[in-house]
A and B are shown apart, each in its own frame.
Chain A
Amino acid sequence: MILGMDIWVFTAWIGTILAAILCLFYGFYHWILKKTDEKNTSKGKNKQSRNKGVN
């Protein structure tokens, strides 16, 4: 018994919590991915504009 539950019920219990955490991670992952993309894009743009300035 884990936390008063047998192994199958405990698997369902912890699985439900993990599934909800997976939903959160999915959201965070795309949020971070988007932030990184935005950073890279703005860095790229800055580089381009600097190069233009030199030329």
Chain B
Amino acid sequence: MEDVIFFAIFMAIFAAMFTFLGYLGYKKTKTAEDYFVAGRKMGAVVIAFSYGATFISAVALIGFSGIASIYGHSILWLAFLNIFVGILIAFIFYGFRTRKMGLSLNALTLPELLGNRFISTKLQSVSGLIIAIFMVAYTSAVFLAIASLFQVTFGISYELCVVVFTIVVGIYLIVGGLYAVMWTHAVQGIIMLAGMFILTIGIYIMLGGIGPAHEAAAGLTPELLNSIGSPAATQAPAGLTSMPPIFSQPFMMILTLIFGVGIGVLAQPQLITRYLTAKNEKALRNAIPYGGIFILLMTFTAFSIGPLCNVLMVNNGLMYPGTPDKVVPLIVREFFPQWFVFLFLFAVLSAAMSTASALFHTAGASIGRDVFEKGIMKGISHEKSIKITRIATIIIIAATLFIALNPLDVVAFMVAFFFGLMACTFLAPYTLMLYWKKTSKGGAWAGMLGGFIFTMFWYILIYFKTAPQIIGSSMIDTYMINMLDPIFIGLPLSFILTYIFSILIKQNKDEQKTMIKSFENI
């Protein structure tokens, strides 16, 4: 009971601080540009922290470190891609151009960028609708993870957790717009950094440093892992610090995770919005070192400690706690002082809040601006635009709350779903739009819809995680195919379709004019 009171006090302080930042955001929000892209006035540190905090959700911290406890350190390849692709390639090859094109075309969202570049409000509305629908499900999955964690740790009811969490995030987001979201991200990012840094250092100190810790993990035999009930006994056949045999089932699982999330990051609408908020190119450029270090201290640490949790459990006679999501919370509860248990919970809460607020904002903007304002109620004022988006955001939050309170089995798979779906749908038209002047409206439609339809079919009929939940079993029994992330086929297919249809259906004169305008500053 004492714990719950202590937690409630800290939660109240947390909520008050974010509400205050929401109020400051409200005072600064005068135009649609302010609400959607924080007035394009953000500096390097806020961009880096906001990008990182949006990217790294509670699922990444708790879920992926749990997955690392099963598959071992080979998942560190994902940490490498998170920095190399998620920061370096993303900012250098996508960020600068997106910002410049966004300015030239006066675009405030990814769908608007596509719509304005190809002079098609339909393209904008359809993109907005796809983003909003799947984002609601993804956000519900984030809620599900965090509420379960608090239920397990404090015994607070799941429903109460979900409602309180939604109200806190909803208030500062709706009131303060993207200003509030990004400022709160900076605060949340610092808490996340502190939590993960202390956790990692603590675990390595307990195990005698980097070398001894990894050697202890390498020395865990399948028999020892079996004795604590760890799935690593079968899923890390070559040991926790070695790559599994090539094309074995664990290898395919790691391959799918690494590329699905590692490459998928390039086409996440909520992350692309961060490029549009930069006050100048220098801010984006300077965000790269901060972003690299932030991700290093998040995913690299989370994936490094996951396998080591097995060593702590074996050494101390603890049993593997059922599902991988419970591994890190168990280690924190058993081996760290009470003050750190709270800090860690707030770090996870921050990770969930930051991702949820960014997703709500992007989904709200997709429905409010891309579907309603541009698709249905054309030519309305800026004030009305913000009002409509605020109402749309409330509807999105209510829908998410409803799904989170009545979770369907398939919702839990939305995290895996979302990254792949966004990449296969948007990455090809988005990349070619930035780099190939001949990309046409026909090409963008073909690449987007082709990638989207293929990915949906793959997830419904073939993918080993989702197909059994939806149609009972995968239509293809071979694990080397049904374990593949759709990104391996859907992404090349989407690129090919965009290219071929851009050649077949060439740009008209209006499109050519817009194309010239969009490349003016590049």
Interface residues of A (CB under 8 A from B): 1, 3-6, 8-9, 12-13, 15-17, 19-20, 22-24, 26-28, 30-31, 34
Contacts and interface: CB of A to CB of B under 8 A. Distances in A.
Most A Cβ at <10 Å: residue of B76, B88, B92 = B76
Given A13-B73, A17-B296, A26-B88, A5 B80 contact: no
Contacts of A9: 72-74, 76, 241-243
A6 B293 CA distance: 25
Contacts of A6: 238-239, 241-243
A41 to B, nearest CB: 16
A17 B300 CA distance: 9
B83 A23 contact: yes
Given A16-B296, A34-B282, 14 more contacts: A1-B215, A5-B241, A8-B242, A12-B73, A12-B79, A13-B73, A13-B76, A15-B84, A17-B296, A19-B88, A19-B292, A20-B295, A23-B293, A26-B289
B211 interface: yes
A12 B83 contact: no
Contacts of B214: 3-5
Contacts of A26: 88, 92, 285, 288-289
A12 B241 contact: no
B444 interface: no
Interface of B: 72-74, 76-77, 79-80, 83-84, 87-88, 92, 210-218, 238-239, 241-243, 282, 285-286, 288-293, 295-296, 300, 304
B79 A3 contact: no
B481 to A, nearest CB: 24
Most A Cβ at <10 Å: residue of B80, B290, B296 = B80
A23 B80 contact: no
13 contacts: A1-B241, A4-B212, A4-B214, A4-B217, A6-B243, A12-B79, A16-B83, A19-B80, A20-B83, A22-B292, A23-B288, A23-B293, A27-B286
For the complex of A and B, 5 pairs with smallest distance between CB atoms: A23-B292, A4-B214, A27-B289, A4-B215, A6-B242
B221 to A, nearest CB: 15
A8 B74 CA distance: 8
A1 B218 contact: yes
Nearest to A31: B286
Contacts of A12: 73-74, 76-77, 79-80
A24 B242 contact: no
A20 B292 contact: yes
A4 B218 contact: yes
Most A Cβ at <10 Å: residue of B77, B289, B291 = B289
Contact of A23 (B74, B216, B217, B289): B289
A15 to B, nearest CB: 5
Contacts of A34: 282
Given A9-B241, A16-B80, A4 B213 contact: yes
Contacts of B239: 6
Nearest to B92: A26
A30 B295 CA distance: 21
Nearest to B74: A9
Contacts of B79: 12, 16
B218 to A, nearest CB: 5
A28 B79 CA distance: 23
B77 A5 contact: no
B242 A23 contact: no
Contacts of B88: 19, 22-23, 26
A39 B407 CA distance: 61
A29 to B, nearest CB: 10
Contacts of B288: 23, 26-27
